[in-house]
Amino acid sequence: MPKSHSRHLAMLWATAAAGLGAVIFVRVGLADADEPDDTAAAIQQIRSVGTEGAGSEAATDAWRQLTRGGVDQLPSLLVALDDANPLAANYLRSAIDAIAAQHGDALSTDVFADFLAERTHAPRARRLAYEWLVRLDPTTPDRLLPTMLDDPSVELRRDAVARVMERAAGHEDAGESAEAKQAYRVALSGAIDRDQVDAIAAALDKLGTPVDLARHFGFIQRWKLIGPFDNVGGVGFAAEYPPEKQIDFAARYDGKDGEVGWIDHVSEETYGNIDLYQAIKRENGTVAYAATQFLAAEPRDVEIRYGTVNATKIWLNGELLDSNEVYHANDEMDQYIVRGHMKQGENTIVLKVCQNEQEESWAQVWKFQLRVCDETGTAVLSADRPDTGSVAQNSALRGRLN
């Protein structure tokens, strides 16, 4: 087998092992290899590998050099994961695993603990550091997870929430309803994954404390709606109807079937769904616009996540953020995710929702749901949103878990 093929196979086995959480250290003869002469150069060689594998031979040589080194390389390797492309990240993770495995029981937890504590690092790199901490010190989950309910790493936060949910369930099984309720409230304060949130909400509802799920997730329920406008033959998606040019809630325009104006609509559904057939008119081949004013307490970047089976365009403060001319795709929470910047004060979100003329029963849906959150999926609420008094996200609860 040619040397280049041997090197490539070795790297494939090592990176696959790293992805499975196992550690397999593969050594192959690399006679005459031109290896980088220091850690920084080796890391740069790996980071230069192309996503299609360009430069993989040089990256494999660099990987081999790194795996011969000491634990003093680990901080640099972990940092290098922050913005590495997926293939380079595989090499780097494999090198970290190989070095850590070689030093075994003599390996200090400090390097991983210090890296994990710095939350600005990439979630995948911090997850790797956490997993090594768990291997080296089995008490790590008990010590650290209670502090990670608001962690920017979605995976670590999920583990933290799961740990508190287990505690809450234990209280519930023991008939300790007050303690169970408190623990579930703490778990909810960090929960962002729908399956966990739904499970916690069900448990709290059973304990007599209903949860406002729309508020917890940040679904917008109060809208101004206008329509229908014409979309026969699909003409409406590209058409620039008046709401795309200016938002004037007092204005009236020529619609598909006559004059139309803005109407107020409030969703009472758990996940903030807006049924446009019900709110506006049951008619196909149509376009509607939904607009809302979002009051931001401070300037900030946000994610606007929405789901719909219909074709859509979305604007934030007049800037087009996304356009999807897709009809009757699967409808799910967070189907589309767009990023935008909100200014302090009032911000206008406008969604255009187009329904085509298909007559099949499964095509008779004209609705949407939309929420505002940060990059982890944690709700960002408009400053003027009424407080329902339910168990919504409350960071103060986190410090009350004994």
pTM equals 0.82
Pairing of strands 319-324, 263-266: unpaired
Beta strand 263-266 pairing with 259-261: unpaired
Q: In a structure prediction context, what are the per-residue pLDDT tens digits for the chain, which is 402 residues long? A: 343 333 333 343 343 333 333 333 333 333 233 434 589 999 999 999 887 778 889 999 999 999 988 888 999 999 999 999 999 999 999 999 999 998 876 788 999 999 999 999 999 999 999 999 999 999 999 999 999 999 999 999 999 999 999 999 999 999 999 999 999 999 999 999 999 999 999 999 999 999 999 999 999 999 999 999 999 999 999 999 999 999 999 999 999 999 999 999 999 999 999 999 999 999 999 999 999 999 999 999 999 999 999 999 999 999 999 999 999 988 899 999 999 999 999 999 999 999 999 999 999 999 999 999 999 999 999 999 988 755 444 444 444 343
**Which ranges constitute the DSSP H helices of 104-193?**
110-117, 123-136, 140-144, 154-173, 177-190
3-state helix, strand, coil in the chain (%, to 5): 45, 20, 40
Structure tokens at 128: 């790797």
Q: Are strands 300-307 and 367-373 parallel, antiparallel or unpaired?
A: antiparallel
CA angle (272 as vertex; 392, 341 as ends), nearest 5:
80
- Looking at residue 104, its pLDDT comes to 74
| 143: CB partners within 8 A, 6+ apart | none
Q: Which of 130, 151, 39 is nearest to 92 (CA)?
A: 39
Task: Answer for the pair 323, 366: CB distance below 8 angstroms, yes or no.
Answer: no
Query: pLDDT value at position 171?
Result: 97
Rounded distance between C-alpha atoms, residue 27 and residue 151, angstroms: 37
pLDDT for the residue numbered 152: 94
What tokens does 173 get?
């099984």
217-373 fold: Jelly Rolls (2.60.120)
Residue (of 359, 305, 304, 363) closest to 332 by Cα position: 305
